[in-house]
Amino acid sequence: MRTELWLILAFSAVVAAGILFMALRHLQSRSVAPPRPIDVRLQEALDEVKSSMGYASELMAELQREMDAQTAARDALVAQAEENRRLAEIDREQAERIRGILFAETKAEARRRKRAQWAFFLAGVLISIPVGIAINLLTN
């Protein structure tokens, strides 16, 4: 308990010293300085304006580079989108051709099956009639 009390007192003393130091610095900075001549102040203001203009021109150049980069990226994306659209159109045409081929093959397969069914029917008719006649002749 005593150790904690001493630590609190020591911490409070450090904080108070810091506050006192900051207050003294503030008072010293507020002390009145002798006025500077107008031509010195004007020259300093002109130097600041020149510095600001230089910084602004650097920012404009950087902005222009960024705009050029974004324009190039946009142009690349537009070209890629156009290429993708063209490929999609080609794919659509190929899909139509494939669908047409499959439809034609399915239709041809249906005709083949129909012919095979007719052939089996006719073969059955042609075989069953002579067999039926032969059985009738043999059993009579």
**What is the residue-level pLDDT of the chain in tens, covering all 140 positions?**
667 777 777 778 888 888 888 888 877 776 656 677 888 888 888 888 888 888 888 989 999 999 999 999 999 999 999 998 988 888 888 888 888 888 888 888 989 999 999 999 998 888 888 888 888 888 87
pLDDT of residue 42: 86
> CA dist 17 to 4, 10, 27, 83, 130, Å?
20, 11, 15, 72, 131
> CA dist 8 to 14, 17, 46, Å?
10, 14, 53
CA distance 108 to 120: 18
For tokens 């059993």, name the residue: 139
pTM, full prediction: 0.39
List the chain domain ranges: 1-31
pLDDT of residue 113: 93
pLDDT of residue 11: 77
Query: Judging by beta carbons within 10 Å of its beta carbon (0-12, 13-18, 19+), is residue 46 exposed, middle or buried?
Result: exposed
For tokens 């002749």, name the residue: 137
